[in-house]
Amino acid sequence: MTTAPRLAVVAGLLGGLALFAGSPYLADQGRVNLNGLAADIARGEDRIEAIALAGWIRDQRPNLSVIDLRSPEDYAAFHIPTAVVQPLESTLGARFAASDTIVIYGDGSAAASQAWVLLKARTRAAVFYLRGGVGAWLDEVMAPTIASDAPAAERAAFARISELSRYFGGAPHVIHPGDPKPLSRASDEMSRAETLAKVARMMRRGC
């Protein structure tokens, strides 16, 4: 037997055995690639900004799931469009395909970033947490601001953000000298009470 037929037999054997080998994904084997998780965190590939998520939702990114990890009451008060409310325990038990993209969010970043680690250990899908949570969405998508004397590059970027904001019913506005200072912006450490206060303010203003 020459080399080519031998290699064909080896390929056939390895291909046939693959039928019974089970999933090649580490998550399905109950294993965790800690170096991979650390690399994702170091590169900032564990999180997504609110504006980028808004773009994904508007453009109907294929296989995108947005999951609200907060309570059903908080979800009912306000949630990001297309999001479903699902506690972390159920999310960890759900089965996702490798082609899925999952974005999880909470009030700030702390709980969602912890959930990101757990979810990455359980699924082979692409997973991100929303940096700043609901508060970031309210600030950056529903009420983006820019100073009237901002440089041209910033104004051009703001024009694109404003278009996205209006798509979601937001109210972008320009801050002129002498205007009252804007309310505090969302932070990674935002609490539930702060988020609910932000939601209430937005509801009063109307969206």
Partner 1 sequence: MIAPLVDAGVFSDSASLLLALAIGVAFGWALERAGLGNARKLMGQFTLTDLTVFKVMFSAIVTAMLGSFWLARLGWLDLSRVYVPDTFIVPQILGGLIFGAGFVAGGLCPGTSCVAAATGRLDGVAVIAGMLAGVTGAGWLLPRVPALFDATPRGVLTLPDALHISYGAAVFFVVVVALTGFRAATAIERSRR
Residues in the site for partner 1, rule: CB under 8 A?
4, 8, 11-12, 14-16, 18-27, 29, 31, 33, 35-36, 38-39, 59, 61-63, 97-99, 101, 124-126
**Closest distance of CB 21 from partner 1, Å:** 5
Q: Token pair of 64, please?
A: 């995108």
């972390």: which residue's tokens?
A: 88
**Closest distance of CB 126 from partner 1, Å:** 8
Residue 47 pairs in a beta bridge with: 129
**Closest distance of CB 161 from partner 1, Å:** 17
CA distances from 23 to 10, 45, 97, 124 (A): 21, 25, 12, 11
Q: Token pair of 93, please?
A: 């038990």
Nearer to partner 1 by Cβ, of 16 and 72: the residue is 16
Nearer to partner 1 by Cβ, of 30 and 180: the residue is 30
103 neighbors 138 (Cβ within 8 angstroms): no
**Closest distance of CB 168 from partner 1, Å:** 19
**Closest distance of CB 17 from partner 1, Å:** 8
CA distances from 13 to 35, 191, 205 (A): 32, 57, 67
Nearer to partner 1 by Cβ, of 98 and 207: the residue is 98
3-state class (DSSP) for residue 155: helix
Nearer to partner 1 by Cβ, of 1 and 97: the residue is 97
Q: Which of 134, 97, 112, 113 is nearest to 40 (CA)?
A: 113
Nearer to partner 1 by Cβ, of 28 and 49: the residue is 28
